[in-house]
Amino acid sequence: MKKRIPHITGVLAVVFLLAFPFIYTRADYDFMMHLWITAFFYAILASSWSLLGGYAGQFSFGHMAFMAIGAYATGLFSNYVYLASAPTHVCTEFKLGDFYLVFLEPIGVTSTKLTCLDLAKQSWPVDVIVTQPSIVWGILLGILLGGVFGLLIGALVLRLRAAYLALLTIGFSEILRAAISAEIFITRGQAGLRLKPLFSNGLTIFGRTYSAIDKVPPYYLMLFLFLFCIAIMVWLVRSRFGLFIRSIREDEEAAAALAVNTVRYKILVFVITSMMAAAAGAVQAHYIGIITPNILILLQMSIVIAMAVIGGLESIVGAAVGAIIISFTLEFLRSSFTIGPVTVDMTIWRLVIFGLLLMLTLRFWRNGLIYPLLLWFSRAGAKQETVAKRLTDADPDGAGGPTEESV
């Protein structure tokens, strides 16, 4: 029964999350929904990073860069790509069935110049149809590009370990941030790239109609993306893939000597986790409605890693739960308070508390705070005595005594 507790808890948690938008009725409804959506976003990032860093031992600091690739890919797609039923003759365009796929030229942030599409519209008859492709295509493009960059970075860092891998991926992330900041003409730099809402025409589900700014549809979209990613990752870590990436983490040379194609699995884990980060980034970008290069600052990456570490580096579910708890905690700790003449500004001090928790976790609970609980339940029923004791009982001569490292 004890072994089943995590499963039962998991099912109850999913039921609670599915029901939450209908059972929560307090005045801060929109705020709470926003917190949940953001928590799911971070949970996807933290759990996919735990697959990369915790299971495969690839300590990458480039995870937020892949998230940003997904976000900017769909952002640029929804800003620059149109479908028209007639050729513009002035834009870059490709015929696509009955329509033309039209790419607008970048016109910068403050330019009042008309786009090539605006110019074309002036000479078109009124019956020419101009639409934008569904944002689903933008999100899919973001995921695909995340995977392509994951493949490239994965191949580039194949021979790098530990600090070198971390430094290279920080470099990649910073290059991307600098490039996005510099290409104001295309990305609008720090002014931010605006994106269409996830459901710009609203949505009707089971007879209930939701507007474009309603939080319920994005909540469910992010929840399903989160659950889908978790399901994929849990399946992966329980399969040969999980076994192989853990063996590579432990000893790459030994794994290769035992016929494991280490190159393939190292690249695969980069591609899979990059695609998940890109998917989360693309959906979140449409939900928030604007993206800036600040999503790539090192603090953001550090928060994701800290969430994974505190939840449990070697546990997909632990990292996800850790990310959700920390997302909420960081938000609730924003409220400043006064003790006598002193006012404590928690918008700053909350990060100090968070950092302290991270330090204590790394020092005293290296497997995180959530994972040991899951492990305790899942190993329930196992014999409690240590290997050393068992061997001593079986072999008083001490032939199989544990090594110093094993204790």
Stretch of residues binding other proteins (CB under 8 A), selected from 141-149, 222-230, 368-376, 387-395:
387-395
Stretch of residues binding other proteins (CB under 8 A), selected from 37-45, 90-98, 178-186, 386-394:
386-394
Phi-psi region of 188 (alpha: psi -120 to 50; beta: other; left: phi over 0): left
Check binding of 256 to other proteins (CB under 8 A): yes
**With CB under 8 A, what is the number of residues at the site for other proteins?**
36
Give the Cα separation of 363 and 366 in Å (integer).
Answer: 7
Q: Which of 159, 182, 386, 389 binds other proteins (CB under 8 A)?
A: 386
DSSP string, 60-106: -S-HHHHHHHHHHHHHHHHHHEEEESS--SSSEEEEETTEEEEEPPP
Nearer to other proteins, 334 or 389 (CB): 389
Nearer to other proteins, 42 or 244 (CB): 244
112: tokens are 């009042």
Residue ranges of E strands in 239-341: 290-291, 337-339
Stretch of residues binding other proteins (CB under 8 A), selected from 97-105, 214-222, 252-260, 332-340:
252-260
What count of residues does the chain have?
407
State which of positions 198-217 bind other proteins (CB under 8 A).
Answer: none
Nearer to other proteins, 149 or 265 (CB): 265
Say if CB 77 and CB 290 are below 8 A apart: no
- Binding track, positions 261-300, relative to other proteins; x by CB under 8 A: xxx-------------------------------------
Count the helices and strands in the chain (H runs, E runs).
Answer: 16, 10
Nearer to other proteins, 113 or 159 (CB): 159
Nearer to other proteins, 262 or 284 (CB): 262
182-219 exposure pattern, b = at least 16 Cβ within 10 A, e = fewer: eeeebbbbeebbebbbbbeeebeeeeeebeeebbbbbb
Stretch of residues binding other proteins (CB under 8 A), selected from 128-136, 175-183, 345-353, 396-404:
396-404
Give the Cα separation of 194 and 109 in Å (integer).
Answer: 11
Nearer to other proteins, 227 or 263 (CB): 263
Check binding of 365 to other proteins (CB under 8 A): no
Say if CB 91 and CB 103 are below 8 A apart: yes
Give the Cα separation of 146 and 236 in Å (integer).
Answer: 19
Nearer to other proteins, 28 or 250 (CB): 250
**Burial of 50 per CB tally in 10 Å (0-12, 13-18, 19+):** buried
Task: Report which of 282, 86, 227, 249 is spatially closest to residue 162, judged by C-alpha positions.
Answer: 249
Q: Which of 26, 94, 95, 253 binds other proteins (CB under 8 A)?
A: 253
Nearer to other proteins, 121 or 246 (CB): 246
Q: Which of 136, 175, 258, 380 binds other proteins (CB under 8 A)?
A: 258
- Shortest gap between Cβ of 258 and other proteins (angstroms)? 4
- Shortest gap between Cβ of 173 and other proteins (angstroms)? 28
Nearer to other proteins, 344 or 387 (CB): 387
Let me know the angle formed at the C-alpha of 68 by 42 and 148, rounded to the nearest 5 degrees. 110
Check binding of 393 to other proteins (CB under 8 A): no
* List of residues contacting other proteins (CB under 8 A): 240, 243-244, 246-247, 249-251, 253-263, 314, 382, 386-387, 390-391, 394-395, 397-403, 405-406
